[in-house]
Structure 1
Amino acid sequence: MKLKEIGEFGLIRRMRSSLKDSQRNAVLGIGDDGAALKIAPGKLTLVTLDTLVENTHFKWDYASPRQIGWKALAVNISDIAAMGGVPTYCVVGLGLSGSLEVDLVDGLCEGLKEIAARYGIGVVGGDIVRSSEFFITVCLLGEVAGGRICSRSGAKVGDLIFVTGELGAAAAGLACFDTAEVRLESGKRELLVQKHLRPSPRLKEGQWIAARRIATAMIDISDGLISDFSRIREESRVGAVLWEEAIPVAPPAVELARSLGRSPQDWALYGGEDYELLFTASPDKRKLLDEEAPFPFSVIGEVRQWQEGMVLKEAEGRHMRIEEEGYNHLADAPRRGKKP
């Protein structure tokens, strides 16, 4: 059997089963945004890791070393945000060819330094290996009070589904590089490009939600709304109905999609890399969010029974079963997903 036949998430399930006896009583292990370990009384240590690979996650044609340094740490901070935690220290691994310019590594360090300073993170070590293709791996540590941690596994039937901010902007930003002619005001184009290359992790939002014990389950949107909610669905053993009209699509993404004859809803549902927070909460938390949340959010659906699967209620009122896919690293031609 080939890896492409079982896919990225099938492989994760297989490895999780194989390694289930090796997790040493971790509070959270394989299958969540990060691991949660009980090392000190009263708090949990969080551990997460992400890798960016040249020609898989980005191309030097349009991304600067400084932007990649920023993004490599940002995507890890987003994982800590989804757990309601505070990031503390990171280590960085680099795969480099000797033919690369020293300036490239200097730029990476500038990007890492900038975002680390913004979020109060110490960059304390790492590793360098020879590689024909560039990659950067960041392992980030964090912490959270034991009673405040958010996971993917607590969603309950009847919960509402919430998302922070707007979706589709990062996928639209990528489309700006993939499309020869972008008919969009320069300021709007730059906003979309920045959403793709310099994401802003929703750290304060995650901490606010966790401190008030609002979320029953939470995840950050890295691979796409559909793909990432399917992870909550699997860990919580629930189904869902999403309301198409309620899904917040960034206006510049809508404008660009229409000019290109593309679907802005596809970018919002399947595009990924928005790094907004997707969470479920009891309906009785809605009033607290409406009155006190210091950030924009939308209610986009409802948690249903597992056997109902995932369904999209379209604007016309039709119910369509959702194909649960997003970015798959092990596909023959990885791409951001398609709407069935």
Structure 2
Amino acid sequence: MNHRISDIGEFNLIEHIARIVGVPTADDIIVGIGDDTAVLRWDAETCLLATIDAQVEAIHFQRDFLTPEALGHRALAVNLSDIAAMGGTPWLALVSLVAPPETPVAFIEALYTGMQRLAASAGVAIVGGNMSKGAHLVIDIAVLGRVARRHLLLRRGARPGDLLCVTGTLGDAAGGLQLLLNPTLPLDEESRRPLLNRFRTPTPRLAESRLIAASGHATAMLDISDGLSSDIMHLCRASGVGVRIDAARLPISPALRPLAAHIDTPAWHLALHGGEDYELCFTLAPHAVESVAHRVFTTTGTPITVIGEIRPAEEGCLVRTPDGCETPLEPKGWRHF
């Protein structure tokens, strides 16, 4: 049967590709396809992290939704978040740009200004790239990072009994997107601004990830890009476990609640399924939660919240809604195809 990509979806397509390229056999390839980054051996104590991600006009962004500076920030931030998911430190970036010929030079300059600002703050050097013309703007960025091998965190490693934790608050980027799609929503500026900022200029949790990894108590980690309900499935599949998420414990910002009321959607629903928050989702041994959360908060100001528990695989993936009902967790986050 001649399937189309839309018939099988992104992750089945990745499995097809993985079968073609095969499992890496070289000793210096630790992780290939299947995690937030590839992991390569740098030396006896250090791993090299490699990731690549594209922002495609009319798919990932609309130009009238954000300034070119914010777009440059966003395009780099999503890659830095992948490095954070492994507990690593970003190092170098390569930028491949596709742009229509009529694009103003000033737009491209502003795009790279936003990118460079974030790169400088994260200690990243933009060392090259490529350019081509095309019908739509595409920003495709590859980032290399490094991590001490003893601090490396993967999607696999979670164990039944571990507690499921997240950094920051969830659903804000989805709230910001709702404001951009529905600009007449009657939300005050105090609530509107933080939601729009979370969508336009996300903050990769680099410092937080290094503290979590260095604690020695985290067992698995990834970043929340497609939405918690979708991304947690990757962690469960890789670790061979199930999960129970307590929706009432999802961390929700004060700005998101009035927005959710205006669009008649429970705030916890936006937190569970909304994507592009780029927070960290990770698992911890129960005895370590208090000390790790305290260290992260006192060092970075970012709170950590326990939102559930890792369960045996045979118990499946469940969500307990705020009214106490337990239902199968459905992945309703972003889907590329």
TM class by shorter chain equals: over 0.9
Aligned residue number for residue 16 of structure 1? 18
Equivalent pair of 1:23/1:29 in contact (CA under 8 Å): no
CA gap of 1:308–1:34, structure 2 versus 1, over 3 A, is: same
Aligned residue number for residue 289 of structure 2? 286
Cα distance in structure 2, aligned partners of 1:175 and 1:125: 35
Residue 32 (str. 1) matches residue 35 (str. 2): yes
- Residue 20 of structure 1 deviates from its aligned partner by 2.3
Aligned residue number for residue 259 of structure 1? 262
Aligned residue number for residue 323 of structure 2? 316
* SS at structure 1 position matched to 2:158: coil
Pairwise CA RMSD: 1.2
Aligned residue number for residue 5 of structure 2? 3
- Once the two structures are superposed, residues 119-142 of structure 1 have per-residue CA deviations (whole angstroms, 9 ceiling, x without a partner) of 111000000011111100110010
1:176 aligned partner, one-letter code:
L
- Once the two structures are superposed, residues 278-332 of structure 1 have per-residue CA deviations (whole angstroms, 9 ceiling, x without a partner) of 00111121232244332301100001111222101122221111112421111xx
Instruction: Between 30-39 and 292-301, report the one with greater CA deviation.
Output: 292-301
* SS at structure 2 position matched to 1:37: strand
Q: 2:78 aligns with which of 75, 80, 88?
A: 75
Q: 2:157 aligns with which of 143, 154, 158?
A: 154
Cα distance in structure 1, aligned partners of 2:81 and 2:185: 29
- Once the two structures are superposed, residues 154-200 of structure 1 have per-residue CA deviations (whole angstroms, 9 ceiling, x without a partner) of 00111110001100100000000111422111132111111001001
- Residue 13 of structure 1 deviates from its aligned partner by 1.9
Gap runs ≥5 in structure 2? none
Cα distance in structure 2, aligned partners of 1:208 and 1:103: 39
1:312 aligned partner, one-letter code:
V
Q: 2:335 aligns with which of 321, 328, 334?
A: 328
* SS at structure 2 position matched to 1:156: coil
* SS at structure 1 position matched to 2:211: helix
1:236 aligned partner, one-letter code:
S
Q: 1:298 aligns with which of 287, 299, 305?
A: 305
Equivalent pair of 1:222/1:275 in contact (CA under 8 Å): yes
- Residue 17 of structure 1 deviates from its aligned partner by 2.5
- Once the two structures are superposed, residues 189-231 of structure 1 have per-residue CA deviations (whole angstroms, 9 ceiling, x without a partner) of 1111110010011100000011111210000000001111100
Aligned residue number for residue 338 of structure 1? none
Cα distance in structure 1, aligned partners of 2:154 and 2:197: 29
**Normalising by the residue count of structure 1, what TM-score does the alignment of the two structures yield?**
0.94
Instruction: Between 158-167 and 34-43, report the one with greater CA deviation.
Output: 34-43
Residue 116 (str. 1) matches residue 123 (str. 2): no
1:142 aligned partner, one-letter code:
G
2:23 aligned partner, one-letter code:
D
- Once the two structures are superposed, residues 249-286 of structure 1 have per-residue CA deviations (whole angstroms, 9 ceiling, x without a partner) of 12211111102212222211111111110001111212
Cα distance in structure 2, aligned partners of 1:113 and 1:324: 34
2:276 aligned partner, one-letter code:
E
Aligned residues: 330
- Residue 41 of structure 1 deviates from its aligned partner by 2.9
Equivalent pair of 1:97/1:130 in contact (CA under 8 Å): yes
